[in-house]
Amino acid sequence: MTAPALDLRAVARAYGGGRTLFGARPVVRAVDGVTLALPQGRTLGIVGESGSGKSTLGRLALGLETPDAGHVTAFGAPMPAPGTPAWRALRRRMQMVFQDPLGALDRRIPVADQVAEPLAIHGIGAPAERRARALDALAAVGLSAAQGGRYPHELSGGQRQRVVIARALITDPDVLVCDEPVSALDVSIQAQVVNLLIDLKAARGLAMVFISHDLRVVRQIADRVAVMYLGRIVEEGAAEAVLRDPRHPYTRALVSAAPAPGRHRRERVILSGEPPNPAARPAGCAFHPRCPVAVARCRSEAPALEPAPDGHATACHRVTPAAERAA
Amino acid sequence: MAAPLVRIEGLTVAFDGAPAVRGVDLAVHPGEAVGIVGESGSGKSVTWLAALRLLPAKAAVAGRVLLDGRDLLALPLPEVEAVRGGRIGMIFQDPASALNPVLRIRRQLGEVLARHRGLSGAAIAAEARRLLDLVGIPDAARRLDSYPHEMSGGQNQRVMIAMAIAGQPDLLVADEPTTALDVTIQAQILDLLAALRRELGMALVLISHDLGVVAETCDRVAVMYAGRVVEMGPAEPLFDAPRHPYTRGLLDALPTLDAAERLVAIPGVVPDPRAMPPGCAFAPRCAHAAPVCLGAEPALRATLPGRWSACARPDLDLAAPPPRPPATPAPAAEAVA
Ligand SMILES: Nc1ncnc2c1ncn2[C@@H]1O[C@H](COP(=O)(O)OP(=O)(O)OP(=O)(O)O)[C@@H](O)[C@H]1O
Ligand SMILES: Nc1ncnc2c1ncn2[C@@H]1O[C@H](COP(=O)(O)OP(=O)(O)OP(=O)(O)O)[C@@H](O)[C@H]1O
Ligand SMILES: [Mg+2]
Ligand SMILES: [Mg+2]
């Protein structure tokens, strides 16, 4: 069997601690023991609560940050330390589309030059060839050469987002981590970009981690989906199973709240209570304060992520245990 | 109907001779929620940035933006600055550009509260906490000490919402306010905006690509394409039975939760603003284009009561999706290979 493109074992990353002028800074356990594998050529969707650690997980997966605990392997080899030559060589094969396009672009450089930049960094091609490839990559996401000549602040939000996607694709990577790559695009361009990514996956075996709040887009592109809540995975399975038959109460709330035109009144599962505070993780199941079906056990005992025989895993005491489901 | 709160008349914006907004007329009434949807780059953000005089000097802006009978485009800049964050709040599309990276959230919110609400000292601290609570940021008291880079994308987005409503505006212009939020928090923010509208009579302009959010939140919707409004009307009938082929195309591109199938993008690309096609700007991509579409650019005309469309073929039957365009070969894959 070929090694997975990415393999994360019990990775954890915390921020904060120490003191400021205003008092002690809380420790935020952004990612708290996540185990995941991304097989080559497959797409893993990551959805979940805002602040649940999705972007942090994406940075850990590409070695842009080092986990406090656990380890990451890429193509079967341990992730090299950031900044080392081995890491730089790997980076050419693994690209990230960052969540905030304006933050990811340099304000002083025309965008076509920024799209070509990874080629220059990795010493690929002569300048003329780099430029031609940059224009091709821009065209693939629906941007013209004239738009390529502009500075980031001279483009609309969705145009900037596409620049970042073009830059990530130009080195012809084997792995792409996309953090909210299509949220700023109108649905037609979104369809174009999603189709482009699906084609790259089919044609070249591109493996992807696709972080998004848009469950419908995740449904179209992902083979498997992991649902995060407060730094942990609470549900994981085939995209179709997780989004059609969500088992964890948080996933059920997510799926029921997804808005669509024509569905005039959402039959939302209303989540009671406050959104969670990552600096003060509730005891037991972190979701229990907002959970409509929580029982006493949920307040004291944290549920483990348990796979059912069908490969669909859930971390919930109230989900029928695997044995009973099979019976 | 009551007089509009804000009326945009004949607004045009060009950058270096390239038109970005090509004649927009739009009124927002007190307490009303107007959704603005449309193509990426069609001028949704620029329309409102121009109205609030936030574009760089090189932008050529013409037309009028009336608030209480005063033209914001003609007022001295200090008077417009008093309107911004006061009577009109704005949530910008890019959190990175709206939040100052080197200042703590406490300072940034405090400045708005001091300037537009005249608060000071302990009152600022208390109000800042209340606002962060309102937008669903847990542990608000501590989060005030964070810098933007210490927050997640969605947390920064909620800080911007808090800043925009801090001045208790009569109109909130929200540019993609919920894109980085998961749907449960999104629902909470939309409920908050609805409550502000009810309780303070605040009007809302919601710019969003999320047609579901717009359908659920807005009374009226304007659809923009290539710098103009091409369709306008009450949200429900507009999404149920669009009158402009571009609106139809958007609805057909929506992915579903039920099955994974290839998405239908509108074929072709947006026209180059420096070389607009003769006639309708959408004609080169339109499945229904006919010779009549290549004449004069169609004006926005009333079709049904309250409904407006800028289509030269107003009697088209758009109930069913048009025939699917032949599957586009994936030029993209070659382009980057
Ligand atoms: N550099 C940092 N310093 C301190 N806290 C951080 C830092 N980066 C992230 N965090 C915190 O870690 C948690 C997880 O953040 P992350 O950005 O991974 O969330 P996310 O799931 O991507 O959220 P969103 O959907 O809103 O983008 C959040 O509570 C965030 O405030
Ligand atoms: N400062 C600028 N200089 C030159 N062109 C600009 C500038 N700002 C915007 N534009 C152009 O004006 C057009 C309209 O931009 P605008 O930001 O209003 O689009 P939008 O409808 O908000 O799109 P999106 O949905 O992608 O945010 C775009 O083609 C954009 O590239
Ligand atoms: Mg994030
Ligand atoms: Mg915009």
A53 Cβ below 6 A of ligand 1: yes
Amino acid at B6: V
Range of the domain at A242: 6-93+173-326
pLDDT of residue B332: 36
- Tell me the average pLDDT across A161-166: 91
A50 and A199 co-located in one domain: yes
The answer to whether the Cβ–Cβ distance between B181 and A213 falls below 8 Å is yes
A52 and A117 co-located in one domain: no
pLDDT bucket at A20, cuts 50 / 70 / 90: low
A160 and A300 co-located in one domain: no
A274 and A141 co-located in one domain: no
pTM for this model (two decimals)? 0.88
Mutate which of A55, A68, A99 for ligand 1 pocket (most atoms within 8 A of beta carbon): A55
Structural domains of chain A, count = 2
Considering only residues B149 and B332, tell me which one the structure prediction assigns the higher pLDDT. B149
A186 and A267 co-located in one domain: yes
A127 and A238 co-located in one domain: no
**pLDDT tens-digit profile of A178-201?**
998 888 788 988 898 899 899 989
Q: At what angle do helices A111-121 and A127-140 cross, to 10 degrees?
A: 120
Q: Separation of B264 CA from ligand 3 center, angstroms?
A: 28
DSSP B95: H
A149 Cβ below 6 A of ligand 2: no
Alpha-carbon gap, residue B163 to A25, rounded angstroms: 23
A222 and A302 co-located in one domain: yes
pLDDT bucket at B335, cuts 50 / 70 / 90: very low
The answer to whether the Cβ–Cβ distance between B263 and A191 falls below 8 Å is yes
| pLDDT above 90 for A251 | yes
A45 Cβ below 6 A of ligand 1: no
The domain boundary, picked from A149, A172, A195, lies at: A172
pLDDT bucket at B100, cuts 50 / 70 / 90: confident
pLDDT of residue A89: 87
In a domain, A265, yes or no: yes
CATH number, domain of A28, equals 3.40.50.300
A311 and A252 co-located in one domain: yes
A41 and A78 co-located in one domain: yes
pLDDT bucket at A267, cuts 50 / 70 / 90: low
**Shortest-distance atom of ligand 2 to CA B13:** 12
Number of the ligand closest to the Cα of A183: 2
Average pLDDT, chain A: 88
Contact B196, B202 (CB under 8 A): yes
| pLDDT above 60 for A322 | no
**pLDDT tens-digit profile of A47-88?**
998 889 999 999 999 999 999 999 999 999 999 998 899 988
**pLDDT tens-digit profile of A43-58?**
999 999 888 999 999 9
> For chain B, how many helices (H) and strands (E)?
12, 12
Amino acid at B258: D
On chain A, the residues whose CB falls within 8 A of the CB of B95 are 100
B180 Cβ below 6 A of ligand 1: yes
From residue A308, alpha-carbon distances to A131, A243, A312, A314, A320 in Å are: 51, 16, 5, 8, 9
Average pLDDT, chain B: 88
Helices (H), A76-183: 85-93, 101-104, 111-121, 127-140, 145-148, 157-169
Which residue puts its alpha carbon closest to atom 16 of ligand 1? A53
B39: closest CA of chain A, how far (Å): 5
A244 and A302 co-located in one domain: yes
- Tell me the average pLDDT across A279-302: 91
- Tell me the average pLDDT across B183-194: 82
- Tell me the average pLDDT across A188-217: 91
Number of the ligand closest to the Cα of A155: 2
Tokens of A177: 């981590």
The domain boundary, picked from A172, A195, A228, lies at: A172
The domain boundary, picked from A140, A172, A204, lies at: A172
Which residues in A119-141 are b (16+ Cβ under 10 Å) and which e? beeeebeeeeebbebbbbbbbbb
B224: closest CA of chain A, how far (Å): 11
The answer to whether the Cβ–Cβ distance between B333 and A216 falls below 8 Å is no
Mutate which of A107, A147, A155, A162 for ligand 2 pocket (most atoms within 8 A of beta carbon): A155
A236 and A316 co-located in one domain: yes
In a domain, A1, yes or no: no
pLDDT of residue B315: 86
Which residues in B86-100 are b (16+ Cβ under 10 Å) and which e? bbbbbbbbbbbebbe
* ipTM entry: 0.83
A202 and A301 co-located in one domain: yes
